[in-house]
Amino acid sequence: MSIEMSTKLGKIGITTEVISEIAGGAAIDCYGIVGMASQKQLKDGISELLKKENFSKGVIVRQQGEEVHIDMYIIVSYGTKISEVAHNVQNKVKYTLDKMLGLSVDSVNIFIQGVTVTNP
């Protein structure tokens, strides 16, 4: 599936996988993020930590009419304020997608899949 944008020079189609990779990369750069998690937890409740090449599994891009919505599944570092980390991720993802693709995102929904103690 792709997101279509119209410009005065024509139409541009961007696949949801590209948007997912960019959004995941932007989120990983935020303080307090350990990594991206799979949107489908294993049955015993343990979240799989995704590597860079699999960010699209932890990000869902939805288009409803003209609106674009992004759902992100993340794992945060123990000891950080989860609400602040989530807010920072929302802002960074919206900013990055706007600057890199010219894509206006209506909402970035954050789903915390786990909290992990990181080694200093």
Q: What angle do CA 113, 52, 21 make, to 5 degrees?
A: 85
Look at residue 85 in the predicted model and tell me its pLDDT. Answer: 94
Average pLDDT for consecutive 10-residue bins of the chain (120 residues)? 84 90 91 81 50 70 89 91 94 95 92 78
Look at residue 69 in the predicted model and tell me its pLDDT. Answer: 94
Q: What angle do CA 78, 79, 82 make, to 5 degrees?
A: 85
Look at residue 43 in the predicted model and tell me its pLDDT. Answer: 40
Domains of the chain from N-terminus onward: 2-116 (3.30.70.1350)
Q: Residues 38, 48: contact at Cβ < 8 Å?
A: yes
Look at residue 70 in the predicted model and tell me its pLDDT. Answer: 94
* Bridge partners for 70 per DSSP: 61, 108
Q: Please write down the HEC assignment for all residues of the chain.
A: CEEEEEECCEEEEEEHHHHHHHHHHHHHCCCCEEEEECCCCCCCCCCCEECHHHHHHHEEEEEECCEEEEEEEEEEECCCCHHHHHHHHHHHHHHHHHHHHCCCCCEEEEEEEEEECCCC
What whole-number distance in Å separates Cα of residue 93 and Cα of residue 86? 11
